[in-house]
């Protein structure tokens, strides 16, 4: 979730949690001394832990920093984590495969496939994929005047009390449809998890099987992504992993909850996937390399809308000519976890990482700004091969993601 915007974003401020660590790193920095130091600096700024994988002209490198749990321990470099909205890129890939097979048309009204919901007839499959449908985001929206319009319980004690609640896609869509549309379909851009819940339902309607089954058959199996899990109602994270924490104010006191175990059904096809940096690297390499989609549909996927640098389930990050140019991928986040998966079109530079959050209070503007700056500096150091200068354009972009 981001700044109360949903499941994605650069620092994803709506997670409203972070942590404090001594900043000891768990890998030999080698030729990546600057990056290693930037990871440590991020943990010193206030997050719990970081695990990162990068491929570029220097080769392949993985490292980690920070703590595995509040009680200690090293963050594994091969650990699983909740990848949040990176799930959307998996879902969009499946939808575009169905387009290639003639089962779905991008510019068909979604109401033709799912008439029972009473969707606006002007909303198309394409609009859902690129967040231009206008559907209210069931995880909550920030209004034009800066006020917050809540969706399902995702803040403070309400979230902790509902940590193991089971949601159905129908319930999540109903939350959205009970609110007015944000704008006329196709006339603006607003990040909406609702669209990807609807797309999960579309996949099920067209194939006769759950969306998760199709992701496994079409992507995980063929690519050998054995570390990636679609958990459904299962609450744990299998295998090695760092814990994520949720800090919040309750009656003025700062409380910290371990949110490693949750029922992720509230995220479902908008953000439930658990993965590793290794599997995400294989996925983005295969996707941009044309192994999963024909060239014409990959082109559709990587073409941004006129309103936002976001295509069909892929975001575009322009790092500038000195830092690799345009990257394609997605960010993600659930309470306790932030994630990142981006690569250049030629796959020459690829970067994936997971940040786990701890016990610091992101409601404190100074804490939030410090962590946001350190996050941007780590990313810039990774893809620009050097520490960032103040005011770098990439840091400005990150602040807006």
Catalytic residue status for 268: no
- 3-state secondary structure labels for all residues of the chain: CCCCCCCCCCCCHHHCCECCCCCCECCCCHHHHHHHHHHHHHHHHCCCEEEEEEEECCEEEEEEEEEEECCEEECCCCCEEECHHHHHHHHHHHHHHHHHCCCCCCCCEHHHCCHHHCCCCCCEHHHHHHCCCCCCCCCCEECCCCCEECCCCCCHHHHHHCCCCCCCHHHHHHHHHCCCCCCCCCCCCCCCHHHHHHHHHHHHHHHCCCHHHHHHHHHHHHHCCCCCECCCCCCCCCCCECCCEEEEEECCEEEEEECCCCCHHHCHHHHCCEECHHHHHHHHHHHHCCCCCCHHHHHHHHCCCCCCCECCCCEEEECCHHHCCEEEEEEEEECCEEEEEEEECCCCCEEEEEEECCCECCCCHHHHHHHHHHHHHHHHHHHHCCCCCCCCHHHHHHHHC
Query: In this structure, what token pair is assigned to residue 281?
Result: 């690297």
The residue from 64, 85, 176, 305 that is catalytic is: 85
The two structure tokens encoding residue 2: 């981001």
The catalytic residue positions are 85
């Amino acid at each position: 979730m981001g700044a109360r915007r949903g499941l994605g974003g650069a620092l994803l401020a709506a997670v409203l949690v972070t942590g404090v660590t001594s900043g000891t790193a768990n890998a030999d920095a080698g030729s990546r001394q600057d990056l290693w130091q930037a990871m440590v600096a991020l943990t010193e700024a206030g997050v719990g832990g970081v695990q990162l994988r990068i491929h570029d002209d220097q080769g392949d490198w993985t490292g980690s920093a920070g703590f595995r749990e509040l009680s200690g321990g090293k963050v594994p470099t091969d650990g699983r984590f909740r990848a949040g909205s990176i799930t959307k890129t998996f879902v969009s890939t499946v939808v575009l495969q169905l387009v290639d097979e003639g089962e779905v048309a991008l510019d068909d009204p979604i109401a033709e496939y799912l008439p029972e919901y009473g969707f606006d007839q002007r909303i198309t499959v394409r609009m859902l994929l690129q967040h231009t449908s206008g559907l209210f985001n069931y995880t909550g929206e920030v209004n034009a005047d800066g006020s917050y319009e809540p969706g399902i319980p995702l803040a403070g004690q309400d979230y902790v009390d509902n940590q193991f609640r089971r949601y159905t896609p129908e319930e999540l869509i109903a939350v959205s449809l009970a609110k007015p549309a944000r704008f006329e379909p196709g006339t603006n851009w607003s990040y909406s998890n609702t669209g990807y819940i609807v797309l999960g339902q579309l996949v099920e309607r067209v194939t006769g099987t759950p969306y998760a089954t199709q992701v496994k058959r079409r992507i995980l199996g063929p690519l050998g992504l054995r570390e990636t899990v679609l958990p459904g109602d299962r609450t744990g994270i299998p295998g090695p992993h760092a814990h994520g924490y949720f800090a919040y104010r309750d009656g003025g006191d700062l409380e910290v909850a371990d949110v490693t175990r949750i029922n992720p059904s509230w995220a479902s096809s908008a953000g439930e996937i658990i993965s590793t940096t290794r599997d995400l690297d294989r996925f983005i390499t295969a996707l941009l390399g044309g192994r999963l989609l024909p060239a014409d549909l990959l082109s559709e996927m990587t073409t941004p809308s006129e309103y936002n640098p976001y295509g069909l389930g892929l975001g575009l990050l322009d790092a500038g000519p000195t830092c690799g140019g345009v990257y394609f991928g997605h960010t993600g986040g659930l309470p306790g976890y932030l994630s990142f998966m981006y690569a250049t079109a030629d796959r020459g530079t690829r970067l994936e990482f997971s940040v786990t959050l701890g016990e610091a209070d992101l409601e404190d503007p100074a804490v939030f700004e410090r962590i946001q700056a350190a996050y941007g500096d780590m990313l810039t150091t990774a893809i620009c091969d050097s520490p960032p200068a103040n005011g770098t354009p990439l840091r400005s972009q990150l602040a807006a993601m």
